Structure 1
Amino acid sequence: MTHLTYDIVGSFLRPEEIKTARKAFKDGTISKEELTKAEDLAIANLVEKEVSHGLKYVTDGELRRRWWHLDWLKEFDGFETKHFTKEINGTINEIELGTITGKVFYNKEKEHPEVQAWDYLHSLAQKYDGVIAKKCISGPNMIFIDHFLQLGNKETPYYGTDINVLIDDVAKAYQDAIQDFYNHGCRYLQIDDTSWTYLIDENFLKKVFSLGYTKSQILNWFQTVSTKALEGKPEDFFIATHFCKGNFKGNPLFHGFYDSVAPVIAEIPYDAFFVEYDDARSGSFEPWHVLKDKNAIFVAGLISTKNPKLEDHDFLKKRYEEAKAIVGDQIALSPQCGFASVEEGNCIDEETQWEKIDLLVSCSDFL
């Protein structure tokens, strides 16, 4: 995988047949089995299209998910979600937040829907020569973000206030899940974790401080659990991470530069770092100079999935070269995020989505 040159983040706009099937299932007019069949067909069509557009690494577009993160985190015992309505950007939205309800662990004895989803994706990818399936899951920090910082809890029903034991259990749950995916043939895993960018946003930091925490304290939680989660991973398992500044229906959630978090993230032994850099909000590439001497790939997210305007090929080349001068030769190109972090999707159409993919692939001439 050290030859990675371009890739996608993972999610795709939901096709109409998926939207129709999910609504029918919610309304009780089709069964879970019928929904799964509709998802299977849509994912098979998506993978075929990904390959025909020149992608070497394919995903299932997260077409089975409502949320990019919670649908995965629900795989863990001791974690549940609460439903809310919240006004975001002038509209009322249905949201969920996760909460710790007991001992957190990954039950290796039961069947996991996300592993079954991986098995299906893997079977599709194997039909094409030179194509590798990538599984995307959300990262451990999101558990802490939701329970302690979003919901404002100071303790948990099982752990009380003992953060260290909780960190150990969450890390062990991820270790077991990672091994499970490996046992099912997965060799490329992407762990998405926007939690880092919560901590570069001054408005969110005010909430952190009001709850009695410090920024360095939360960063230590994140770095510790993320590092422990990767302990014992098989040597031939390529594990990347991705983070951006939030993506709710194409709208960013956080603002700020990466300077204070990049050195912390770079110490976590990921094989690749997908980082959002599609506009001036991200600042310079300089914070990532810390990766130059590490055996890891910096994946510059230069193509926007939320702005329908198509980027200029030569401008992307210029930005790519700017990043390369700082991070070194281990560099690749990608969009800054997925096209649909939630099932409603970003504010672009499918035609634009595939034009963005074609642009990405066309940039292989300078990668």
Structure 2
Amino acid sequence: MDKSYSLAPDFSWFIFSPDETALYTLQTTDGGENWTQGLVEGHMGRLRYRKASYYTPDSGILVTSVNKTSEAAAIQEFLRDTQKLVYQSASKTFVEHYDEIMAGTFHGEIINEECDEKWRNEIMCQTAAYHYEIVGSFLRPEELKQAREQFEAGQITAEELKAIEDEAIRTLVAKQKAVGLKTISDGEFRRSYWHLDFFWGFKGIEHNVMDQGYLFHGEETRADSARLNGRIQYNPNHPVFEEYVFLTTIADGLPIRQSIPAPAQLLAELVRGSNEDRVNEVYPDREVLYQDIAKAYRETILALYELGCRDIKLDDCTWGMLVDKNFWETMTNGVYDTQQLQKLYLRLNNDAIADLPEDLHVTTHVCRGNYHSTWATSGGYEPIADTLLGNQDVAAFFLEFDDDRSGDFEPLRFVPAEKQVVLGLVTSKDGKLEGKDTLISRIKEASQYVPLERLSLSPQCGFASTEEGNILTEEEQWAKVSLVIDVANEVWGQKA
């Protein structure tokens, strides 16, 4: 080990694997005579949420490229001989520059002047945590919409449709990389709806068409739905698995976020209108239904984990419906007690994600409806904040705050200290760009309730929760994404 710089008695290097999937420590307690290695985080996509916990005032930082290994001796040998030892911060430097380091704007002293310049620049970008996110769905290109119409009309085969979907997703992923996103999705390009297609993939659930769609503000949705045709079971051939595997082949090592509708959302669909008749037939004991939903979800999530998925987002409109008393009473004819529903939805969601692997990052997104630039409900988070924000077992909450329908930030006081909040301040419903100063001011306002380091910025929802998409152009869509990144970089001092 090169000891041309001073070490504190207790000192740690932090080492990134070359594919950005793992973070290791190399630690000494005797001033560098002996070293031990440990795995800090097996999934780099989660670092932005827990960045501060990796550093102490007596630690150092090393950002380098190292082969994955469980042998501390191999890492020592690598560090002794490598030409890619780039940045270091000894304990004194760390204390002096603590604020810069925690903000991601300080990268230490260059101790190898001959290191390749391009490689150094790439590493500098990797060291900065980021505070910008995307909810998931993107506008479908016209050629994909046309292909779906042709498939429904029997003019092309399923294989031909899939080939067109594959190419559209390749193009989308390239655009996500180019704009600077650090977590990617397939844009939900293979789905007609953000939720129903996933439901149809379970055993025991079928596609049906109801007499009426959901009533949004000034518009009615298509009337497709999901109802029971047997007990709900995990399906090893669920389409989501093939979809995820395809995305891994084109992600180039970037973290993938897999969005799925929440278990509570499935229950809400199954008891919607006449669908509930099937529930009563198949599940005379509702307790068995709740157990089957949680079991099918949990097995599906674990199967995704086995395929390499480490980031799951549960999209959930049920909470957005509960905040609007008038909407809920209209939809249910006043049958349901919303307080009891809150407890039930919380239980369903938490049961489905209980005892999952520690390195599986689970978040949730709360929405008030997003269909063709219209919305379904209005109301602030206060009526559900204690239950949802205080008790749902997720690492982060994606919350829409793009207009007055979402209320103020005060309910964020219920968010536990270890959890993150992604502020959906940029609307995805139209193409008009928000003012940077306004967004920055609102982020600062939210930081009165959740510290700035635990906040991030995103659009309020996806750009196309259904294949119709919202009413804006693709150029306006990407301008919105760029705005989110630019504002986040300005607020948190990051490199995109």
What's the TM-score, normalizing by structure 2? Answer: 0.70
Question: Following superposition of structure 1 onto structure 2, how do residues 178-193 of structure 1 map, counting pairs within 5 Å?
Answer: 178-193=301-316
C-alpha deviations, 1:129-183, integer Å up to 9, x for none?
xx211111111111221222444726432211x2222111111111101100000
Matched residue type, 1:274 = F
Distance 2:200 2:332 in 1: 28
C-alpha contact 1:62 1:68 (8 A) present in aligned 2: yes
SS of alignment partner, residue 276 of structure 2: coil
Q: Distance in 1 between matches of 2:219 and 2:133?
A: 33
Which of 102, 109, 112 is 2:230 aligned to? 102
Q: Which has the higher contact order (CA 8 A, sep 6+)?
A: 1
* Structure 1 residues 257 and 356, CA gap change in structure 2 (3 angstroms): same
One-letter code aligned to 2:307? H
Confirm or deny: 8 A CA contact 1:101 1:157 kept in the other structure: no
| Amino acid in the other structure paired with 2:472 | I
Q: Distance in 1 between matches of 2:306 and 2:242?
A: 12
Percentage identity across aligned positions?
36
Q: CA 1:296 to 1:37, structure 2 compared with 1: closer, same or farther past 3 Å?
A: same
Equivalent position of 2:245 in the other structure? 119
Q: Is the 8 A contact 1:100 1:156 kept in 2?
A: no
Counterparts in 2 of 1:325 and 1:171: CA distance versus 1, 3 Å: same
**Paired residues for 1:67-216 under 5 Å:** 67-84=193-210, 85-86=212-213, 93-108=221-236, 111-125=237-251, 127=252, 131-151=254-274, 153=276, 155-160=279-284, 162-207=285-330, 210=333, 212-216=335-339
Per the alignment, residue 358 of structure 1 pairs with: 482
**Distance (whole Å) between structure 2 residues aligned to residue 222 and residue 137 of structure 1:** 16
SS of 2:271's equivalent? helix
8 Å CA contact 2:311, 2:361 repeated in 1: yes
1:211-256 per-residue CA deviation (whole Å, 9 max, x = no partner) reads: 5321112111101111101112110000111011100111011111
Establish whether residue 346 from structure 1 lines up as the match of residue 391 from structure 2: no
Q: Is the 8 A contact 1:99 1:143 kept in 2?
A: no
Q: 1:123 to 1:303 in 2, by over 3 A?
A: same
Q: CA deviation at 1:205?
A: 2.7
- CA deviation string 1:256-302 (max 9, x = no partner): 11101121112011011000000111111111211142x21101000
Cα distance change of structure 1 residues 213 and 92 upon mapping to structure 2, 3 Å threshold = closer
Name the SS of the counterpart of 2:369 in structure 1.
Answer: coil
Aligned ranges for residues 322-333 of structure 1 at < 5 Å?
322-328=445-451, 329-333=453-457
Q: Distance in 2 between matches of 1:113 and 1:187?
A: 18
Tell me whether 239-248 or 212-221 shows the greater mean CA deviation: 212-221
Contact 1:142–1:195 (CA under 8 A) maintained in structure 2: yes
Alignment check: 8 A CA contact 2:364 2:396 kept: yes
Secondary structure of 2:448 counterpart: helix
2:151 aligns with one of 7, 14, 25: 25
Report whether the alignment pairs 1:280 with 2:404: yes
2:172 to 46, 55, 74: 46
Match of 2:162 in 1: 36
- CA deviation string 1:292-340 (max 9, x = no partner): 42x2110100000002210111211111111122122311111000000
Matching of residue 3 in structure 1 with residue 48 in structure 2: yes
What is the distance in 2 between the residues matched to 1:95 and 1:291?
Answer: 36
**Structure 2 equivalent of residue 315 of structure 1:** 438
SS in 1 for 2:411: helix
Q: Note the 1:57-72 alignment, pairs <5 A.
A: 57-72=183-198
- 1:243 pairs with one of 366, 385, 408: 366
Q: Which amino acid aligns with 2:490?
A: D
Tell me how far 1:94 sits from its aligned partner: 2.6
Match of 1:222 among 345, 354, 362: 345
Say if 1:119 and 1:282 are closer, same or farther in 2 by CA, change over 3 A.
same
Q: Which amino acid is 2:400 matched to? A: E
User: What residue identity is the alignment partner of 1:304?
Assistant: T
Offset at 1:93?
A: 4.7
Give the partner amino acid of 1:365.
E
For residues 174 and 265 of structure 1, the distance between their equivalents in structure 2, rounded to whole angstroms, comes to: 19
Query: In 1, distance between residues paired with 2:137 and 2:258?
Result: 11
Answer yes or no: is 1:270 the counterpart of 2:394: yes
Per-residue CA deviations over 1:7-39 (Å, capped at 9, x if unaligned) read 100000000110111111111111000000000
Task: Name the CA distance, whole Å, in 1 between partners of 2:175 and 2:306.
Answer: 28
Paired with 1:209 and 1:83, the residues of 2 have a C-alpha distance of 19
Question: CA 1:98 to 1:211, structure 2 compared with 1: closer, same or farther past 3 Å?
Answer: farther
Question: Are the equivalent residues in 2 in contact too, given 1:9–1:337 (CA < 8 A)?
Answer: yes
* Aligned length in residues: 360
Give the gaps of 5 or more residues in structure 1. Answer: none
- In 2, Cα distance between equivalents of 1:65 and 1:149: 21
Separation of aligned partners in 1, 2:419 and 2:461:
19
Change (3 A) 1:52 1:83: same
For residues 24-81 of structure 1, give each alpha carbon's deviation from its aligned partner in whole angstroms, at most 9, with x where no partner exists.
Answer: 1111111000000000000000000000001001100000110000011112112223
Q: Which has the larger radius of gyration?
A: 2
Contact 1:65 1:343 in 2 (8 A): yes
Counterpart of 1:140, as a letter, is P
Unaligned 5+ segments in structure 2 are 1-45, 50-130
Question: Cα gap change, 1:164/1:340 in structure 2, threshold over 3 Å: closer, same or farther?
Answer: same
1: distance between equivalents of 2:191 and 2:248?
A: 17
Match of 1:56 in 2: 182
Aligned equivalents of 2:372, 2:332: Cα separation in 1: 28
